[in-house]
Chain A
């Protein structure tokens, strides 16, 4: 009877344990679900941009163009006045204040957009054309339904007059949403509707590239030496322990190091992908060395013996046989290390990659931002337009991380040799 009871208890304990496990997993999925839903619901609207359709007469006098073939004239024509005059003309207003309110419905870059349009449609000079102009951030958010209309006018960023214009434009079918290519092609901007993470992506790319170029060969060589050649003694033991410790050092410490040595002593250019990449490679080194050593260790000794027995030198045995066999594991470790580096923010903040960078960086020596830093920067801004862009940037970052981690799994499964 006692035995029976105990058996029952054991089964119950097992059941209970499984239930705890299921609860834990459900909770985890629940929270990840909330996070992802929140990011997507905030971020998807960033992928579209609100445009206002406007009829415009490409007036040569207004533009100040006398000869269409004169490059200089076309280049420096007065697109600002053209749009200002034509756009305000299209909507009736009664005083200067209202005129100002009309023009601020457009994003401040309208003169460049008009210029781009004109350069592609020079033959239309003197004719009336329909042109799409990017709407201001507030207008954009209003159209996306993120703008609260029912609060008192003095607490709103759009006046009653502006709301009226919006309703009128919508009625006339003059408001449309297009795919927001600015998000991918532009750098940062004070105006949310003109800001993009294009610069941040290029910055991240250069940073990770530098990180890869520096950390991969060094880590591989270190792993090969420690695993295959180094004598097993106190010193190598100490090195091994320290490598494991380095992998656990908070990343901001590497940032401090980069700040102190790379910027202050070596005087490398501030805010650049070069310095960011070096700082991140310090952090990534141990994270590659550890899986690389594990992969080398996993290559059966019989392969080394086989090579040595036909007269290969130790170096030949290692580089002809062991290293290639350890490559899949090493590569997957490298990709995961780089993915971690891609999401790293703190060290980059310290070396000044947090700067407001409008220009898309052309090389690792240009000041640049990076995806996680862009998230950090935009998350500080109150404008609704930056809130959606923050989430869109996170989506982008997550996308890259998922791709990289899948690649790592693929590298391991596809190329790793199975030892029977």
Chain B
């Protein structure tokens, strides 16, 4: 895999600690995520991967007991600084969840919702275009173009997840966070999503949490290994899977625990 030599850090995490009430979930996380690459976060269940991912679009704000210290910079700007508008932040940082969660509305309305609330489209025609483009980018257009008015919840699991990706894309974010997007899907649907992720990385910076090491190896350029709330090691995916520096990483990827 050839790597872009002058990589640009899109997201920088500096000394991030996260607490749920008294319980510390993340310990001093420092890492960089590069622009237009896929970064995978792996680690055993409960190690804090989702928690970290949700720090990047401040989704943890909705959890009352969740307290975060440290800094996360996006394009050099600390998103935890006082007075940051989370709505603007989430326009820039989209998210796809573990379980597909389309709105119980039509396929069209699922995609149109984001552009509508942000006033992105000037008129119906522009909105139609956005919907079409988003669905095309999410490789779903051909399957749904004739039934845009049917409920999004009526699609298959894999299609629902691509619909959610299309929904995330619709407001033109720069970063897309994916939290185990394939864990509820069958292998064929998974393959489609992986293909899609690969095609999206030229336009977006993608961070994907996955419990499947094979998936991390297939789709990502860089991989971070979390364990018990700590970032154990982060490096090029090739390096992590072939020759990790840390013994624990070695043990995890060879399936000795996790």
Contacts and interface: CB of A to CB of B under 8 A. Distances in A.
B254 interface: no
Interface stretch (A73-81, A305-313, A355-363): A305-313
A95 B88 CA distance: 99
A309 B170 CA distance: 12
A417 interface: yes
A309 B103 contact: no
Contact of B103 (A306, A311, A314, A316): A306
Given A305-B97, A310-B171, A325-B104, A320 B113 contact: yes
Given A306-B102, A417-B104, A311 B117 contact: yes
B170 A302 contact: no
Contact of A310 (B62, B94, B153): B94
B113 A310 contact: yes
B2 interface: no
B161 interface: no
A302 B99 contact: yes
Nearest to B115: A310
A306 B91 CA distance: 13
Contact of A306 (B62, B117, B164, B171): B164
A305 B94 CA distance: 11
Contacts of A417: 104, 153
- Chain A contact residues: helix, strand, loop or mixed: helix
B91 A311 contact: yes
A193 B118 CA distance: 67
Given A231-B64, A302-B99, A313-B87, A307 B57 contact: no
Contact of B117 (A231, A300, A316, A325): A316
Interface residues of A, number: 21
Interface size class of B (residues with CB under 8 A): 20 to 34
A313 B90 CA distance: 10
B57 to A, nearest CB: 7
Interface in B131-184: 153, 164, 167-168, 170-171
Contact of B171 (A311, A313, A320, A325): A311
A321 interface: yes
A227 to B, nearest CB: 13
A321 B97 contact: no
Contacts of B87: 311-313
Contacts of A302: 97, 99, 101
Given A309-B57, A309-B95, A303 B101 contact: yes
A312 B117 contact: yes
A329 B248 CA distance: 51
B244 interface: no
Contact of A308 (B59, B164, B170): B59
17 contacts: A302-B99, A302-B101, A303-B103, A303-B104, A304-B62, A305-B59, A307-B103, A308-B90, A309-B90, A309-B95, A309-B97, A310-B167, A311-B87, A311-B90, A312-B87, A312-B117, A314-B62
Interchain residue pairs A-B with the least CB separation, the first 8: A310-B114, A302-B101, A309-B95, A311-B90, A311-B91, A306-B101, A417-B104, A311-B87
Interface of A: 231-232, 300, 302-314, 316, 320-321, 325, 417
Interface of B: 57, 59, 62, 64, 87-88, 90-91, 94-95, 97, 99, 101-104, 113-114, 117-118, 153, 164, 167-168, 170-171
